[in-house]
Amino acid sequence: MVTFRVYVLLFLVVVLGCLWVLYFRGTNSKAETLVLLGNPTLVVSRVHASKGTTIISIPSELLFEGVRGYGRYSLNALLKLGIIDHVDGFLVRETLSEALAVPIARYLGYKDRSYDQSDIRPVLRIASFFCGVPCMKDFLLGRKYMSDLSFLEYLQISSGFRGLSESDVQNIDIVEKNIPLTVEESDGVSVKIFDGKRYDALYPNLFEERVVRQEALRVRVANATTMTGIGDRFARKLSRAGALIVAVESSEDRSLERCETIGIKSALASNTARYIQDVYECTGKEIPLKDSRVDLTVRIGSMYEKRYLPLRLAPPPSPRP
């Protein structure tokens, strides 16, 4: 009887979820990006409107500068630290988001490594995570997966990847592209680290939002926090999304909490402003800008600064139900 009830519940959730996906999310033109944990770790980005998919394969032993003050660790080590600190794949997701300068919405991986199929081709590995009703049941019951996806998000991604073939995919292996940099540690040991400069030089337009690039709005970034350097990091993310960054500066007013986009009405109604507001949870403020060289100003505040604070000071938001 319990099993029957579970299947009935699953059926109802799947039906409602599919309706939601088809009618409300199917025409989304923005890229949605997630991390599939494993070795290699896969960063998968898909634009629903064009059905284009990009997969970046990253060896999990490669070193990155970890977010939240964790320092330089491999992706494998960051995952283990995340599990110890009860945030699972959050550290890997945020570290890769920072390194690749792209918003990464969610992560998905196996709780038990014995399920992991990291040795198969990326497209088949994606299919192993989204295998229809059996995978939906396991996801809904929390059996196999560690993830911050909600079930409806899982359904949406499943529908997007259904029928995915090699011809639909741009595969990028960062080792083959010589993006890792070999450096010598203080103890004389040579290690490989992710080289963001090489990555930016080789793939300046990767993960670009087409509607943002087409508008070519001139954007100024103002850091209204007490943390130095995050204005440049934020500007790099906007630049890779397609915005034209004309200035990065510090704001004298450090009392701002939620980031805000500032400009005239037409600028605030632009796809660029909407993208920034949607991804970074910014508000809009209609004020004419005095500088004729700037179409839109983005001021980042303490809410954005929390992305760089230690977990004990700024824990991540709880996963969606």
CATH code, domain with 85: 3.40.630.190
| Residue (of 222, 304, 206, 207) closest to 263 by Cα position | 222
Amino acid at 50: S
More confident residue, 160 or 91: 91
Give the model's confidence band at 175: pLDDT under 50 very low, under 70 low, under 90 confident, else very high. very high
More confident residue, 291 or 248: 248
* Local structure of residue 137 (DSSP, 8 states): H
Question: Residue 249 forms beta bridges with which residues?
Answer: 222
pLDDT of residue 114: 64
- H/E stretch holding 225 reads none
Q: Output phi, psi for 35, to 5 deg.
A: -105, 130
The model's pTM: 0.87
Residue 201 lies inside a defined structural domain of this protein: no
Residue finishing a domain among 173, 191, 219: 173
d(CA 212, CA 276): 10
Q: Determine the average pLDDT of the residues in 92-110.
A: 95
Give the model's confidence band at 128: pLDDT under 50 very low, under 70 low, under 90 confident, else very high. confident
Place of tokens 């996906």: 21
Residue 265: left (phi > 0), alpha (psi -120 to 50), or beta? alpha
Residue finishing a domain among 173, 190, 223: 173
More confident residue, 15 or 153: 153
Asked whether residue 141 falls in the same domain as residue 23, the answer is yes
pLDDT of residue 132: 83
Q: Determine the average pLDDT of the residues in 276-284.
A: 95
d(CA 175, CA 56): 10
Number of domains in the chain: 2
| Least confidently predicted of 80-89, 94-103, 113-122 | 113-122
d(CA 309, CA 249): 21
Asked whether residue 104 falls in the same domain as residue 162, the answer is yes
Asked whether residue 132 falls in the same domain as residue 228, the answer is no
Residue 277 belongs to a domain with what CATH number? Answer: 3.30.70.2390
pLDDT of residue 130: 86
pLDDT of residue 24: 45
| Tokens coding 252 | 């004298």
Whether 28 shows a pLDDT value over 80: the answer reads no
Q: Determine the average pLDDT of the residues in 172-201.
A: 93
Average pLDDT, the chain: 87
pLDDT of residue 48: 55
Q: Determine the average pLDDT of the residues in 173-191.
A: 92
Q: Where are the beta strands (DSSP E) in the chain?
A: 31-36, 41-47, 52-58, 63-66, 71-74, 106-110, 145-147, 169-173, 180-184, 190-194, 218-223, 244-250, 260-263, 283-286, 296-300
Residue 193 lies inside a defined structural domain of this protein: no
Residue 202 lies inside a defined structural domain of this protein: no
When mean pLDDT is compared over 109-118, 248-257, 260-269, the highest value belongs to: 260-269
Cα-trace Rg, the chain: 21
Residue 179 lies inside a defined structural domain of this protein: no
| Residue 259 domain boundaries | 210-308
Q: Determine the average pLDDT of the residues in 79-83.
A: 95
